[in-house]
C-alpha cells in the first residue's frame, strides 16, 4: 500500500494546477461549512441566551405544582435564607427571588388584568435581570410601581397615578392595596410590557401575605445555556432545596430545544449541498486525470499491473486529494471563525442603520451581537464526508480505468 500511496501522491503532483484547483474547491467547501457551523453555533447561543433571558433564566426553583396551578399559596418558604445559599453555589452567577401574582389593576373603576411581579429591583438591574439597564434613579420608593408600556397605554395609566391592585393572597385572603406609578417600563419582555406591574419584592410580599416567601428563584449559571444541567444538579444539593421543583430552561421551554434541533437539520442540508459540490470537484479531477493517462495506464496493465491495483491507485489519489483539501479548508475555516468569534458579528449593522432587526418571538427578544464559535465535532463531518464522497466520486473513473483494454489504451 505505501507504494500505491506514493504513486498516488506523485500522480497528484503531475498536474499541479489542476490539483491545486481541486484542492481549493474542496477547501472552500469546508471553509463554508465551518463558517456556517460557527455562525449557527453563535446564533443559537445568542438566541438562547436572549430567550432564556431574564424571564426564564437558566434554571428556576418553585414549590412543586406552582407552574401548573399558579395557586398563590404554592410558595417557597423562607426565601431569603435559601436565596443566600443558592447565591453561594460557585456555578451560580445570579439568583433572584420573584413573586408573580395575577391581579386586577385599576386607575379608576375599570379593572385590567395584570401580573404583579415582585422583584428585587436593585439587584435585577444587572445584566440578565428583569430590569436590565434600568437607571438607578428610576427605582420607585416602597409603595411605587413600574408599569409595562403597553399596559400603561391601554389602561390609560400615567406616571403619578395611584392604582388599585386586587388579587389573592397566599393565605387565601383578598389582597388589595394602592400603589403609585413612578415609571413606565419599556422592556423587550413582552409579558411585562403588556401586563406587568412591577413592585419591590417586599411590597409584593406585604400585599399578597407572603412575608419571607416568593414564588420563584430564578437562576443564571456561569456555564451558560449548556451548563444548565450541571447547574440544576448543584442547586439540588443546596440545603433546603429538597422538596422544591428545580428545572432547567430545557424543561421549562421544550419548544426552544425543538428550535435547536431544527437549526441542526438546516445545517445538515447545507452540508449536503457542500458535499455534492466537493464530489463534483473530485470526480472531475479524477476523470480528467485518468483520461489523460490512458496510454500510461494501459502500459501499466500490459506490464502486469492488476486492475485491482490500478483501482486502488486512483482511489488513493482521490482520498489524498479530498483529505488534503479538507485539511487546508479546516485550517482556513477555523482561523476565520476564530477571528469572527473574537470580533463578533452584529446583524443589526447588515440592514440600514436606523432600522433595527430585533425581532420579538413569543415575547422574547432576538438580536444583538453574534459570536461564532466551533466545537471539535464540527470539523469531523467535513473530514468523514469528503473522504467518503471522494471515494464514491472516484469510483467511476477507477472502474473505467480497470476495464481498459491495454492494447487499445496504448494505441489511443
Partner 1 sequence: MGLSVLATSSLAAAQGPPSLAEVTRVLDDLYTSSASIARVELTVTTPRNTRTMRMRMWSRGEERALIVIESPARERGTATLRRERNLWNFLPRISRTIRVPPSMMLSSWMGTDLTNDDLTQSASYRDDFTGRIVGHSQDGHGWTIRYDANEGTVGLWRRIEFDVNEAGTLPVRARYFDRRERLARVMRFEDVREMDGRRIPTRMIIEPQDREGHRTELHYLEMDFDANVPESTFSLTQLERQR
Task: Name the residues that contact partner 1, by CB under 8 A.
Answer: 69, 71, 73, 102, 104, 106, 109-113, 164, 166, 168, 171-174, 176-178
Cβ proximity to partner 1: between 56 and 199 the closer is 199
d(CA 78, CA 240): 9
Cβ proximity to partner 1: between 122 and 173 the closer is 173
Least separation, in Å, of the C-beta of 362 and partner 1? 20
Least separation, in Å, of the C-beta of 270 and partner 1? 43
Least separation, in Å, of the C-beta of 169 and partner 1? 8
Cβ proximity to partner 1: between 101 and 218 the closer is 101
Show the CA angle centred on residue 311, arms to residues 310 and 314, nearest 5°. 85
Helix (H) or strand (E) holding 337: helix 307-343
Cβ proximity to partner 1: between 127 and 162 the closer is 162
CB 42 within 8 A of CB 369: no
d(CA 21, CA 27): 10
d(CA 389, CA 381): 11
d(CA 353, CA 344): 18
Grid cell 379608576 is found at: 108
Least separation, in Å, of the C-beta of 108 and partner 1? 9
Least separation, in Å, of the C-beta of 164 and partner 1? 4
CB 38 within 8 A of CB 46: no
Cβ proximity to partner 1: between 50 and 111 the closer is 111
Least separation, in Å, of the C-beta of 176 and partner 1? 4
Least separation, in Å, of the C-beta of 133 and partner 1? 31
Please tell me the number of Cα atoms within 13 Å of 233 on its side-chain side.
Answer: 5
Least separation, in Å, of the C-beta of 363 and partner 1? 17
Distance from the first to the final alpha carbon of the chain: 29
Give the CA dihedral 232, 257, 76, 140, nearest 10 degrees. Answer: 110
Cβ proximity to partner 1: between 85 and 143 the closer is 143
Give the CA dihedral 403, 405, 409, 412, nearest 10 degrees. Answer: -120
257: left (phi over 0), alpha (psi -120 to 50) or beta: alpha
Burial of 142 (0-12, 13-18, 19+ CB in 10 A): exposed
Q: Please provide residue 164's backbone torsions phi and psi, each rounded to the nearest 5 degrees.
A: -90, 140
Q: Are strands 364-365 and 196-200 parallel, antiparallel or unpaired?
A: unpaired
Cβ proximity to partner 1: between 65 and 344 the closer is 65
Cβ proximity to partner 1: between 111 and 224 the closer is 111
Cβ proximity to partner 1: between 69 and 408 the closer is 69
Least separation, in Å, of the C-beta of 211 and partner 1? 15
Retrieve residue 66's grid coordinates.
Answer: 406552582
CB 197 within 8 A of CB 235: no
Amino acid at each position: 500500500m505505501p507504494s500505491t500511496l506514493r504513486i498516488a501522491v506523485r500522480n497528484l503532483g503531475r498536474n499541479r494546477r489542476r490539483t491545486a484547483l481541486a484542492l481549493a474547491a474542496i477547501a472552500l467547501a469546508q471553509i463554508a461549512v465551518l463558517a456556517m457551523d460557527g455562525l449557527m453555533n453563535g446564533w443559537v447561543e445568542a438566541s438562547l441566551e436572549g430567550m432564556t433571558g431574564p424571564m426564564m433564566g437558566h434554571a428556576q426553583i418553585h414549590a412543586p405544582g406552582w407552574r401548573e396551578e399558579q395557586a398563590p399559596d404554592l410558595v417557597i418558604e423562607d426565601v431569603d435564607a435559601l436565596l443566600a445559599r443558592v447565591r453561594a453555589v460557585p456555578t451560580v452567577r445570579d439568583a433572584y427571588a420573584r413573586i408573580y401574582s395575577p391581579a386586577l389593576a385599576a386607575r379608576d373603576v375599570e379593572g385590567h388584568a395584570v401580573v404583579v411581579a415582585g422583584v428585587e429591583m436593585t439587584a435585577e438591574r444587572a445584566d440578565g435581570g428583569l430590569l436590565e439597564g434600568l437607571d438607578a434613579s428610576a427605582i420607585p420608593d416602597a409603595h411605587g410601581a413600574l408599569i409595562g408600556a403597553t399596559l400603561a397605554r391601554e389602561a390609560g395609566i400615567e406616571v403619578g397615578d395611584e392604582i388599585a391592585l386586587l388579587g389573592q393572597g397566599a393565605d387565601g385572603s383578598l389582597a388589595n392595596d394602592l400603589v403609585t406609578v413612578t415609571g413606565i417600563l419599556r422592556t423587550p419582555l413582552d409579558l411585562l410590557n403588556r401586563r406587568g406591574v412591577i413592585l419591590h419584592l417586599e411590597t409584593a410580599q406585604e400585599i399578597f401575605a407572603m412575608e419571607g416567601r416568593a414564588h420563584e428563584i430564578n437562576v443564571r449559571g456561569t456555564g451558560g445555556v449548556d451548563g444548565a444541567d450541571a447547574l440544576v444538579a448543584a442547586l439540588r444539593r443546596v440545603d433546603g432545596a429538597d422538596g422544591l421543583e428545580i428545572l432547567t430552561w430545557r424543561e421549562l421551554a421544550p419548544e426552544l430545544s425543538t428550535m435547536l434541533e431544527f437549526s441542526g437539520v438546516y445545517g445538515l442540508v447545507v452540508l449536503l449541498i457542500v458535499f455534492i459540490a466537493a464530489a463534483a470537484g473530485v470526480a472531475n479531477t479524477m476523470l480528467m486525470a485518468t483520461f489523460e493517462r490512458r496510454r500510461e495506464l494501459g502500459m501499466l496493465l500490459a506490464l502486469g499491473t492488476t486492475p485491482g491495483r490500478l483501482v486502488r491507485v486512483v482511489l488513493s489519489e482521490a482520498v489524498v486529494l479530498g483529505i488534503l483539501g479538507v485539511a487546508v479548508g479546516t485550517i482556513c475555516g477555523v482561523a476565520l471563525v476564530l477571528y469572527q468569534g473574537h470580533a463578533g458579528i452584529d446583524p443589526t449593522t447588515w440592514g440600514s442603520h436606523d432600522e433595527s432587526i430585533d425581532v420579538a418571538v413569543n415575547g422574547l427578544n432576538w438580536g444583538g451581537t453574534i459570536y461564532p464559535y466551533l466545537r471539535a465535532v464540527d470539523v469531523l463531518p467535513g473530514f468523514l464526508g469528503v473522504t467518503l464522497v471522494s471515494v464514491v466520486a472516484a469510483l467511476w473513473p477507477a472502474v473505467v480505468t480497470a476495464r481498459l483494454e491495454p492494447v487499445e489504451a496504448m494505441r489511443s
